[in-house]
């Protein structure tokens, strides 16, 4: 019984409450225009918010300019410490397993075709939550869009969960 009490008391000191930078989270929530809950991946939302407004640059992977797969590559490297392929199609076929739209979770990739080549991903973004995803638009730079917007509904290809 004494060993149990010692174990119980010693384990109390090992549980730590996660520390949040509430100012950083508040800034991210405002920039992304969405609530960030306690259960959400705070690192994903904070990092994503830092990319908003970055101009589109084909082949780019920096905050001076990025394309869609460069954005997913850079955020995944920073948040998840995973290196993705550098093209939308390669991320879809080599880095992911298929996920249906209704089973998307935050951090999943979302893939779209261009309306002509429907079997090849020409655009990718990162699913956040509540039907919204972050991506690099060729006309507007890095923005948050909704999956139910007509263009993204029409050109939806699949969701993808990064393999471990």
Residue 113 annotated in active site: no
Which residues are within 8 A (CB) of 45 and not within 5 positions of it... i.e. 6 or more apart?
25, 28, 29, 32, 36, 128
Catalytic residue among 42, 96, 135, 155: 135
42: annotated active-site residue: no
| Residue of 42, 96, 113, 123 with catalytic role | 123
8 Å CB contact between 127 and 109? yes
Question: Please, what's the b/e burial string for 91-127 (b: 16 or more CB within 10 A of its CB; e: otherwise)?
Answer: bbeebbeebeeeebebbbbbbbbeeeeeeebbbbbbb
123 assigned to active site:
yes
Residue of 12, 42, 68, 155 marked catalytic: 68
Return the active site residues: 68, 123, 135
């Amino acid at each position: 019984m004494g060993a149990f009490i010692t174990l119980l008391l010693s384990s109390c000191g090992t549980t730590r409450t996660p520390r949040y930078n509430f100012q950083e989270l508040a800034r991210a929530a405002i920039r992304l225009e969405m609530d960030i809950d306690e259960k959400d991946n705070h690192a994903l939302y904070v990092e994503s918010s830092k990319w908003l407004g970055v101009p589109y640059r084909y082949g780019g992977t920096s905050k001076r300019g990025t394309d869609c797969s460069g954005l997913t590559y850079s955020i995944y490297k920073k948040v998840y410490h995973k290196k993705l392929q550098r093209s939308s199609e390669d991320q879809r076929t080599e880095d992911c397993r298929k996920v249906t739209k209704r089973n998307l979770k935050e951090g999943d990739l979302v893939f779209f075709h261009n309306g002509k080549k429907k079997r090849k991903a020409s655009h990718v973004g990162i699913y956040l939550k509540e039907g919204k995803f972050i991506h690099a638009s060729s006309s507007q730079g890095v923005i948050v869009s909704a999956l139910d917007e007509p263009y993204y509904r029409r050109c939806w290809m699949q969701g993808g969960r990064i393999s471990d």
